[in-house]
């Protein structure tokens, strides 16, 4: 698997000041799979913000002395990052903290804006000075610009959403409130949980709720702004929740189907659908559409395991553990260069010869991007004695770049854009090759409450306008809003009319 993770966001609001930094620490540990580049926590103690951000894993960045320095507070927000935009440095770590005329703002973001470059140019023309290279800072400045002429932080967010195009699941913290925001398409997951003391948490995945002892309440709906704030004196609960639904239902829901294929943890539920179940369904569909005569089914750890189980259950071919993953090897261990990558794969994944030797093996993984990793894994199986390797992929072929938070930025890096399926099979040295169909990719998460899915990386049908020459053939109009119709003002007309 050559794709990288996205980001994970978390927020907590407790009735009494306490160690909310520790809550964030445990939640970010649970979300570490979504980003291993950098992480950060911001604690709000009665309007005073304390922050710590750095490059590295959660356990390395947040030592006991660091957590002690963050102190106590009623609110906190946290973030783990894999950078799909912006350079990989400490300055781009989140949450971002911005001081402005009406107070302080902390923001954590998962996703990518499709119109970030246009918005950034516009903001720079209005005098904004950027300190980072991330979409998150663009969003924060849009919110602050609206905040200067609105009565509340939630009104500012509601107004700013008129100009944001693309994927954004946000946790925004002001001195008195904690907000969870999801874009109208619902690209990225975001859920709400409650604590025994009446507190409220927001998180990218339900696995983070479990890590802090929270009970799942519901998912944030696409386009919804959820506000957590102190309840009035005498209210039943100390923290109240209310929502703004102005942007709900303004566009079809297109959740990223790759959340179910790869990104989310298998013990999470995303929009009411078990990720583990969705992946097993994908494996069952693969067994139906691409059967194989084999002795054993094995999965590539970790996200190929559930699909391999589903393939085994549907086909009747026994499932077994064909690879052992070294859990102590981080991504930073693997250095650039062909020989280093070869050694990295051998150290990270080890075949079990007693399981695969002399066997015809069905090998299940979640995707083929460049083809280099799966080629090495197949070679490892053959060296361990496998007589045949039938490769099954629980995703369709990648044919298009993603603009919503997945690390696929160019067709040049996608093997399916340059080779036929038979050529790929020969290149990776598999005895047979089968991909999940786009229809089955949608069906694997069909029971989810979201309703629709984005499959643009497979079929090129982008749900929003995207500002990239590679997709100009789709004849999308680039502007800071919805897809342009004959009576829709142009971006420049919008700018002239905008306060």
DSSP state of 452: -
* Crossing angle of helices 338-348 and 372-383, rounded to 10°: 60
Tokens of 89: 């440095």
- Annotated binding-site residues for [4Fe-4S] cluster read 256, 402, 454, 457
Which residues are the active-site residues?
Answer: 7
pLDDT (tens digit, 0 to 9) for every residue of the chain, 499 residues total?
A: 445 547 999 999 999 999 999 999 999 999 999 999 999 999 999 999 999 999 999 999 999 999 999 999 999 999 999 865 445 678 899 999 999 988 999 999 999 999 999 999 999 998 888 988 889 999 999 999 999 899 999 999 999 999 999 999 999 999 999 999 999 999 999 999 999 999 999 999 999 999 999 999 999 999 999 999 999 988 888 999 999 999 999 999 999 999 999 999 999 999 999 999 999 999 999 999 999 999 999 999 988 999 999 999 999 999 999 999 987 765 433 334 444 445 556 678 899 999 999 999 999 999 998 898 899 999 999 999 999 999 999 999 999 988 898 777 678 879 999 999 999 999 999 999 999 999 999 999 988 888 899 999 999 999 998 765 444 433 332 223 333 333 333 333 333 345 4
Determine the pLDDT at residue 346: 67
Helix (H) or strand (E) holding 200: strand 200-203
Determine the pLDDT at residue 248: 97
Determine the pLDDT at residue 463: 95
Determine the pLDDT at residue 88: 60
State how far the Cα of 186 lies from the Cα of 201, in Å rounded to an integer: 19
Residues 6+ apart with CB under 8 A from 187: 111, 166, 167, 168, 169, 254, 255, 256, 404, 405, 454
Is residue 495 exposed (0-12), middle (13-18) or buried (19+ Cβ within 10 Å)?
A: middle
Determine the pLDDT at residue 89: 73
Please report the beta strands in 1-130, taking only residues with DSSP state E, as ranges in sequence order.
Answer: 8-18, 38-45, 48-55, 73-81, 96-100, 103-110
Burial code of 125-161, b = ≥16 C-beta within 10 A, e = fewer? eeebeeebebbbbbbbbbbbbbbeebeebbebbbbbb
Could you give the domains of the chain?
8-251 (3.60.20.10), 275-328+337-450 (3.40.50.2020)
CA terminus-to-terminus distance, the chain: 46
Determine the pLDDT at residue 336: 40
How far is residue 216 CA from its own chain's centroid?
Answer: 19
Closest CA to 297 of 347, 348, 365: 365
Determine the pLDDT at residue 299: 97
Identify whether the C-beta of residue 3 lies closer than 8 Å to the C-beta of residue 407: yes
Determine the pLDDT at residue 449: 84
Determine the pLDDT at residue 468: 58
Determine the pLDDT at residue 492: 31
Determine the pLDDT at residue 151: 93
């Amino acid at each position: 698997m050559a794709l990288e993770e996205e980001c994970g966001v978390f927020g907590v609001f407790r009735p009494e000041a306490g160690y909310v930094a520790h809550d964030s620490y445990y939640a970010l540990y649970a979300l570490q799979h979504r980003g291993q580049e950098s992480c950060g926590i911001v604690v709000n103690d009665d309007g005073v913000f304390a922050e710590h951000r750095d490059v590295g894993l959660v356990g390395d960045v947040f030592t006991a002395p660091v957590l002690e320095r963050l102190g106590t507070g009623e609110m906190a927000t946290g973030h783990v990052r894999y950078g799909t935009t912006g350079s990989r440095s400490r300055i781009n770590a989140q949450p971002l903290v911005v001081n402005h005329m009406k107070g302080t703002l902390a923001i954590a973001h998962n996703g990518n804006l499709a119109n970030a470059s246009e918005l950034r140019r516009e903001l720079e023309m209005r005098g904004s000075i950027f300190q980072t290279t991330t979409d998150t800072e663009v969003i924060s400045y849009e919110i602050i610009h609206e905040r200067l002429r609105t009565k509340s932080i939630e009104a500012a967010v509601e107004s700013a959403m008129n100009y944001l195009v693309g994927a954004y699941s946000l946790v925004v913290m002001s001195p008195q409130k904690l907000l969870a925001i999801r874009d109208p398409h619902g690209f990225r997951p975001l859920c709400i949980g409650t604590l025994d003391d009446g507190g409220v948490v927001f998180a990218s995945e339900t696995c983070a709720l479990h890590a802090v002892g929270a009970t799942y309440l519901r998912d944030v709906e696409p386009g919804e702004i959820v506000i957590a704030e102190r309840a009035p004196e005498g209210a039943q609960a100390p923290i109240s929740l209310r929502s703004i639904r102005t942007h709900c239902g303004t566009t079809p829901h297109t959740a990223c189907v790759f959340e179910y294929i790869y990104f989310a943890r298998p013990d999470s539920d995303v929009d009411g659908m078990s990720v583990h179940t969705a992946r097993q369904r994908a494996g069952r569909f693969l067994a139906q559409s691409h059967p194989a005569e084999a002795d054993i089914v094995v999965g590539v750890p970790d996200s190929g395991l559930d699909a391999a189980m589903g393939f085994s259950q549907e086909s009747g071919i026994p499932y077994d553990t064909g690879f052992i993953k070294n859990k102590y090897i981080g991504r930073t261990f693997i250095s650039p260069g062909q020989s280093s990558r070869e050694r990295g794969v051998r150290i990270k994944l080890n075949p079990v010869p007693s399981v695969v030797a002399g066997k015809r093996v069905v090998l299940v993984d979640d995707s083929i991007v460049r083809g280099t990793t799966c080629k090495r894994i197949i070679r490892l199986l053959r060296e361990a004695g496998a007589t045949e390797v039938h490769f099954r992929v629980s995703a369709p072929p990648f044919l298009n770049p993603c603009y919503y938070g997945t690390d696929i930025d160019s067709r040049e890096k996608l093997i399916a854009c340059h080779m036929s399926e038979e050529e790929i099979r020969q290149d990776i040295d598999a005895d047979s090759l089968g991909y999940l169909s786009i229809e089955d990719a949608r069906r694997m998460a069909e029971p989810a409450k979201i309703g629709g899915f984005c499959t643009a990386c497979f079929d090129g049908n982008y749900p929003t306008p995207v500002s990239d020459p590679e997709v100009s053939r789709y004849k999308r109009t680039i502007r800071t809003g919805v897809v342009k119709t004959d009576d829709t003002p142009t971006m420049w007309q919008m700018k002239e009319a905008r306060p």
